[in-house]
Amino acid sequence: MKKALLCSAITASFFAGTALAERGSDGQLNIIYWQAASILNPYLSGGTKDIEASSMVIEPLAHYDEKGTMVPNLVDEIPTVENGGVSEDLKSITWKLSEGLKWSDGSPVTAADVAFTADYCLHPEGGCQQASNFTDVESVEAIDDSTVKVNFSVAKPFPYGPFVGAQAPVIQKAQFENCMGAKAPECTDANFGPIGTGPFVVTEFKANDVVALEANPNFRDPAKPAFASVVFKGGGDAASAARSVLETGEFDYAWNLQVEPEILSKMAAAGKGTVVSSFGTSVERLMVNMTNPDPALGDKRATIEGGPHPFLTDPAVRTALSKAIDREILVEVGYGEAGQPTCNVLPAPAIYASTANDACLGQDIDAAKKLLDDAGWVPGSDGVREKDGVRLSILYQTSTNSVRQATQALVKQWWAEIGVETELRNIDASVFFGGDQSSPDTFQKFFADIEMYTNNFDGTDPENYMANWACKEIPSPQNQWLGDNMPRYCNAAYDALVAEMSTTAKLEDRAELAKKMNDMLMQEGAMIPLIHRGGVSAHANTLEGVRMNEWDSELWNVADWKRAK
Amino acid sequence: MLNYTIRRLLFAIPTLLVISFIIFAILDLAPSDPTGNLPLTIPPEVREKIRLSLGLGEPFPIRYLKWLQQFFINEPLNLIEQWFGVSIGDSENRLRVQSWATRSPVVDLIVERMPQTLWVVGMSYVVGILIAIPIGVISAYKQYSVFDQVGTFISMVGFSVPTFFTGLVMIVIFSSTLGWLPSIYDTTHKVTDLASFWFQVKQMIMPVMVLALFNASQLSRFMRASMLDNLSQDYVRTARAKGLKERAVLLIHVLRNSLIPVVTVIALGIPQIFGGAIITEQIFRVNGLGQLLIIGIQGADIPLVQTLTFIFAVLIVLFNLVADIVYGILDPRIRYE
């Protein structure tokens, strides 16, 4: 009897399940991003909010799933060297579009659209914000209606920059044909309502406020999306966005909830929603200035010509600074579910993550003190250590943000315990990260001893990211301070590894190289990694199918989202 | 009076030109970068190209002159074209003031948001006036009574507690705890029938009341002070002596005379309505002009901020003039020659 009941229950739920699998059966989905979407063309806006809003409408050929694995989207399989999709010399990749793909206006998707997308972004006057996804692309040609070949000017061991991930979606040639180059910003209608292949189409767009969308009638899977319409609301602040999902239940999904962990867990206790997190490659780290930022040096300040740093070039000091930090407490205070302590600047994907540096995880004030004692740094009359007239006094800068300031305060206290004096400084993010040549406060100029921020890389391949710390990437007046090697780290052995990686194709070998580079940076103390940061979002308990993703748009699988019954 | 108005309007032109230059220069000198908020994964060379495509490669005077041309010639021409459906000259290629973040014309963004601001902030102003005048009149007439004391207390609280606090308190009470009112303003909502009208009222209550409380506190103090001034005047005694009812003395003689300075204060406050209530709009996510300004500032969308602040400047200059003229009309003793 029990068995029969169970059976019928299963059958019932099965039928209920199939009956529900119908496009537009689940009503409206309300999404809140506390930064409002300004434009729906990711090629004209690098802002995450804009990229994610547009990812419901326009799609790349392949996505990254929540584990960072590539999954085919508009194609049937991912081209590789094994299946012949990537040429033996690694200089071209050939994508084959799936059969019967249609734009939301009913016209067929062809290889010409894909080729056009590349031309659109590569146009020299367009100011394309995703140009880095198309690095080294020589040409993109449509071989026939469904085959497109990307040619690179150099051998590309990882040829998945163009058309993979939400940053590089395919746009429709017919719509954007007259919007090339300098004309791109003038096509407001197209930029506000791109025609796409995604599960939803734009019905109304209010810039910097709200996007209204409805199910795409020509979406390739006739049973999806489950929601008939989407409202993508923006604006306000993270805390009230969290409240609208977790406490009042007005919204179904809230993005990027950078809220004090304590407040967030209190809100989640209301029982209306769930907090979800996911980890990509973001690491909050301390950059250690290897050059001398002394203002007395004038133009040579913080450059190689200005000479080495008076004390941060001493490995004992760098190790002691790292050992004095309790990363667990930093996570607890500032990050909660959105952070994990880390000792690597390259913490993910799993195959690239090194375990060689894990010793930094535990705080050890005594060991730090001993290191400094042994290196000859002895406490002066005011408790600050000094050697040969050089005091361990650090200017520690970061961007203005409550979590960062809390971290700064804690670190300052720990460093005081080991006899290091710290002066804190915070700079508005748009100035700190802005590239204003005339401002002395940018993170590239690094007119401080230590600076803290988060960086990460798009996609899953760390080649370009690890190349950031090559000698030629050091920012200086000669290259207009453009360059990503903030610590001014320069090591011929490291540069050799960078060069080797750019010609290595096999994944295992690449992973080995990346790990080696990470370990070199960590052990030489060019950076002090603190927190592996993840994204935190929240969804209503009535929303099913969310697979929080840091490698692609968080809304990458919005077609599969449905209402719990 | 007409002469005076024309003279003032002509004088406003150089004033506004100077203001526009100052606004442009300050924003240009401010150390912010439109690519500063982009993810760090975008490399510096790409950032440089983005800056060039935004027109930042040109020197300051040229950018200022271009903006002047776009704002004072191209935009009005475009408005005329839209209103009358004609096309003047080469309208296809005429450059309008473009926002950097949305890459769309700034004026279109402003036009799209104007109604929300006028409805919510304007409504709060009207509600504020409707609350403030009776309170001011009664408080003055019954000076030092319990009503006056309570009214003074409430208006002090309303004036000194910032709107971002009252707004949050109201959200916590009415949205989170009681669940009566929505905490987020639905800007796509359209009023079509009674039910949707009721929803519109519900979502407007909190932002309107938060602002109305703030406005009412200020105005009721003005009203009370002005009433007190007038109540002790000789003409009031005369009115009472000739046997007028107390009601007529108060509402016809005293109130009308006391309103003169209050009307001026109200007129001077109108530009603030257009400016939107930056913080309140942000809290309730009303897509008004104040929120647009904040988003523009955060995203270093310089053309948007320039244009908006300049429009506010124009309104302030204009309503100063209006206040002066209204004063002249209401009070026959004042004449501008």
Would the CB atoms of B292 and A456 count as touching at under 8 Å?
A: no
Residue B1 lies in a domain: no
Burial of residue B184 (number of CB atoms within 10 Å: 0-12, 13-18, 19+): buried
Residue B185 lies in a domain: yes
Residue with the bigger pLDDT between A472 and B272: it is A472
Residue A177: pLDDT band (50, 70, 90) is very high
Would the CB atoms of A433 and B36 count as touching at under 8 Å?
A: yes
Residue B96 lies in a domain: no
What is the tens place of the pLDDT at every residue in A301-353?
Answer: 889 888 999 999 999 999 999 999 999 999 998 888 889 999 999 998 888 98
- Shared domain for B260 and B138, answered yes or no, is yes
- Shared domain for B193 and B315, answered yes or no, is yes
B44 at interface of A, judged by CB pairs closer than 8 A: yes
A229 at interface of B, judged by CB pairs closer than 8 A: no
A457 pLDDT more than 50: yes
What is the tens place of the pLDDT at every residue in B289-317?
Answer: 888 898 888 888 888 999 999 988 998 89
Length of chain A: 565
Would the CB atoms of B295 and A129 count as touching at under 8 Å?
A: no
Residue B164 lies in a domain: yes
Burial of residue A564 (number of CB atoms within 10 Å: 0-12, 13-18, 19+): exposed
- Shared domain for B78 and B114, answered yes or no, is no
**End residue of a domain, out of B33, B50, B84:** B84
A441 at interface of B, judged by CB pairs closer than 8 A: yes
What is the tens place of the pLDDT at every residue in A225-260?
Answer: 999 999 999 888 888 899 999 988 889 999 988 888
B42: helix, coil or strand? coil
Residues of A in contact with B56 (CB under 8 A): none
The pTM assigned to this predicted structure is: 0.83
How many helices and strands in chain A, by DSSP H and E?
Answer: 15, 21
Residues of A in contact with B27 (CB under 8 A): none
Q: Determine phi and psi for B196, rounding to 5 degrees.
A: -70, -30
**ipTM of model:** 0.81
| CATH number assigned to the domain comprising residue B204 | 1.10.3720.10
The secondary structure of A352-397 as a DSSP string is G---TTGGGGS--HHHHHHHHHHTT-EE-TTS-EEETTEE-EEEEE
Q: How much of chain B exceeds pLDDT 90, in percent?
A: 22
- Shared domain for B56 and B123, answered yes or no, is no
- Shared domain for B56 and B115, answered yes or no, is no
Burial of residue A91 (number of CB atoms within 10 Å: 0-12, 13-18, 19+): middle
CB A285 within 8 A of CB A527: yes
Q: What is the distance between the alpha carbons of residues A285 and B124, in angstroms, rounded to a whole number?
A: 47
- Shared domain for B312 and B228, answered yes or no, is yes
**End residue of a domain, out of B69, B84, B99:** B84
Residue type at B245? Answer: K
- Shared domain for B161 and B269, answered yes or no, is yes
Length of chain B: 337
**End residue of a domain, out of B84, B100, B117:** B84
Using alpha carbons, select from A327, A187, A334 the residue that is nearest to residue A262. Answer: A334
Q: How much of chain B exceeds pLDDT 70, in percent?
A: 97
Partner A, chain B 49-88, Cβ-Cβ below 8 Å: 49-54
Residue B177 lies in a domain: yes
- Shared domain for B256 and B183, answered yes or no, is yes
Residue B4 lies in a domain: no
pLDDT for the residue A21:
62
| Token digits of residue A525 | 């103390």
- Shared domain for B79 and B113, answered yes or no, is no
Domain count, chain B: 2
Residue B99 lies in a domain: no
- Shared domain for B72 and B181, answered yes or no, is no
- Shared domain for B116 and B30, answered yes or no, is no
Residue B60 lies in a domain: yes
- Shared domain for B116 and B228, answered yes or no, is yes
Question: What is the mean pLDDT of the segment spanning B114-130?
Answer: 89
Q: DSSP H helical segments within A443-524, as ranges?
A: 463-466, 492-501, 507-523
Would the CB atoms of B42 and A126 count as touching at under 8 Å?
A: no
Residue B91: pLDDT band (50, 70, 90) is low
What is the tens place of the pLDDT at every residue in A54-78?
Answer: 999 999 999 999 888 899 999 999 9
Q: Could you tell me the residue range of the domain that residue B42 belongs to?
A: 15-84
What is the tens place of the pLDDT at every residue in B1-52?
Answer: 788 889 888 998 999 999 999 999 998 887 777 777 777 777 777 888 888 8
Residue A9: pLDDT band (50, 70, 90) is very low
